[in-house]
Amino acid sequence: MSVRHALLGFLAEEPASGWDLTRRFESTLGAVWPAGHPQIYGELRKLHSEQLIEIRDHGPRGRTVYGVTEAGEKEVKRWLTSVEVDHTMRLEPILRSAFFWLMSPQELSEHLGREADHYRKVADTYRDLAEAKDRGDFGDSAQTRSLRIAAEAAVRVNDALAQWAIWAQEGTHG
Amino acid sequence: MSVRHALLGFLAEEPASGWDLTRRFESTLGAVWPAGHPQIYGELRKLHSEQLIEIRDHGPRGRTVYGVTEAGEKEVKRWLTSVEVDHTMRLEPILRSAFFWLMSPQELSEHLGREADHYRKVADTYRDLAEAKDRGDFGDSAQTRSLRIAAEAAVRVNDALAQWAIWAQEGTHG
DNA sequence: ACGGGCATGTAAGCGGTTACATGATTCG
DNA sequence: CGAATCATGTAACCGCTTACATGCCCGT
């Protein structure tokens, strides 16, 4: 149910259409919680039927701009403060590591090199984003500061995994 | 499809029943890829019907011990070496951070304190496990070394998130 | 002998993805 | 005006979770 509440959160910032929200999701939270447009459009319909969001405007090709209702804003806050945090992690690359013994040393070393590359790249992307936010490129609203914190998490987690891959690669002394 | 291949991987190590595999999964990969017993039993049935695993023994209460077949072992190796790694992350706690601006400074500070505690605890658990493995408490097989690598990842990711929460909490200067 | 946990399993439902479909707009 | 892209939506499927069901084994 995370997408649901994230949509309410985004709409609490400013009204937006399904498309806007899809891009917003992708650019700010894609690294930690992907959500495709089919899910977003579907969720918006449900949220509207429950009157947690309302239609604010109509645009060109059936574009529907939603805004959060009072009930909706109350619901996000309830989620943030009262609903237990879900700490579930699903990291396929780590799952794979439990079976590294089935790979040849060479395959493994190459695999770990590619993994390190990948994580370094993602970390760098979010590092740039974080630096841009620190420079004030996105203003200095409370919302921007929150996204800055999310970006920091992306940087730290991906850095940690990059370092892990390098550490593991050294263990193969290849 | 990760559970599927993880089961093949575990069975490549030694034959086991659904129950054995459930506990094995939980104790070694629970932190990075949870899998409940209904999923595991179901997957075993499918793997058996595809002849990737075979029945090796029957025990007390309908206990069925499976072992991997040649085709099964080939399939895990194919997965490890040829199937693209899925880097998808789903970290609800980071998703939430994008909406921290909807929380009061006090709520937020307390929230981050609880988060840091949580991650520290998980990291410590896997640190202990890793140290036990380094002491040789689980022998020194290739399989153990792989699980050691997985444990290291759990330590590093959870440490990173604990430090992140503390960093964010300092930003609230609360 | 019986109560509580062990071990196995099934069924329904849900969140999320993939694939498909379609009209609107913009640009060359 | 036609092609490519924008934007919106639906339908089917799949992995996974939740809830339920059941028999077996062990300790007291």
Buried-state track B51-66, b at ≥16 Cβ within 10 A, e below 16: ebbbeeeeeeeeebbb
Are B108 and B154 within one domain? yes
- The per-residue pLDDT for A26 is 95
Among the partner residues B28, B93, B150, nearest to A85 by beta-carbon distance? B93
One-character DSSP codes across B92-115: HHHHHHTTGGGS-HHHHHHHHHHH
Span A80-96, average pLDDT: 97
Q: Are residues B149 and B110 in the same domain?
A: yes
- Same domain for B9 and B77, yes or no, is yes
The Cα A131–Cα A157 span in angstroms is: 17
* Chain A residues touching B94 at Cβ < 8 A: 29, 32-33, 150, 153-154, 157
Q: Mean pLDDT, to the nearest integer, of B3-8?
A: 98
Q: Which residues on B lie below 8 Å from A12 (Cβ)? A: 99, 102
* pTM across the whole model: 0.94
Q: At which of B49, B82, B115 does a domain end?
A: B82
Q: What tens digit of pLDDT does each residue of B33-88 get?
A: 999 999 999 999 999 999 999 999 988 778 899 999 999 999 999 999 999 999 99
Residues A78 and A106 in one domain: no
Average pLDDT in the B79-108 region?
Answer: 97
* Residue whose pair of structure tokens reads 């891009």 in the numeric block: A23
Beta strands in A12-164 (DSSP E): 16-17, 53-58, 64-68
Which nucleotide's C1' sits nearest to the alpha carbon of A62? D8
Per-residue confidence (pLDDT) for residue B50, from 0 to 100: 95
The range of the structural domain enclosing residue A162 comes to: 92-170
| Res. B1 pLDDT band, cuts 50 70 90 | confident
Q: Mean pLDDT across chain B, nearest whole number?
A: 95
pLDDT of residue B123: 97
Domain ends where: B50, B82, B114?
A: B82
Tens digit of each residue's pLDDT (9 = 90 or more) over A70-84: 999 999 999 999 999
Per-residue pLDDT tens for B144-164? 999 999 999 999 999 999 999
Of residues B29, B33, B102, nearest to A12 (C-beta):
B102
Determine contact, residues A158/A119, Cβ cutoff 8 Å: yes
**Pairing verdict, β A16-17 and A64-68:** antiparallel
Q: Specify which residue's alpha carbon is closest to the C1' of nucleotide C19.
A: A38
Q: What does the pLDDT read at residue A28?
A: 94
CATH code: domain of residue B7: 1.10.10.10
Reading the block at residue A130, the tokens are 């974080």
The yes-or-no verdict on residue B174 having pLDDT over 70 is no
**A87 domain residue, yes or no:** no
Predicted local confidence at residue A172, as pLDDT: 84
- Would residue B87 count as lying in a domain? no
Q: Same structural domain for residues A35 and A77? A: yes
Q: What is the number of structural domains in chain A?
A: 2
Residues A9 and A36 both lie in one domain: yes
Summarize pLDDT for A122-137 with one digit per residue, the tens. Answer: 999 999 999 999 999 9
CA distance A99 to A103: 8
Q: Show which of A31, A58, A82 is a domain's final residue.
A: A82
Say whether pLDDT at A174 is over 70: no
Q: Convert the pLDDT of each residue in B109-126 to its tens digit.
A: 999 999 999 999 999 999
> Quick one: what percent of chain A has pLDDT higher than 70?
99
A39 CA vs C19 C1’ separation (Å)? 14
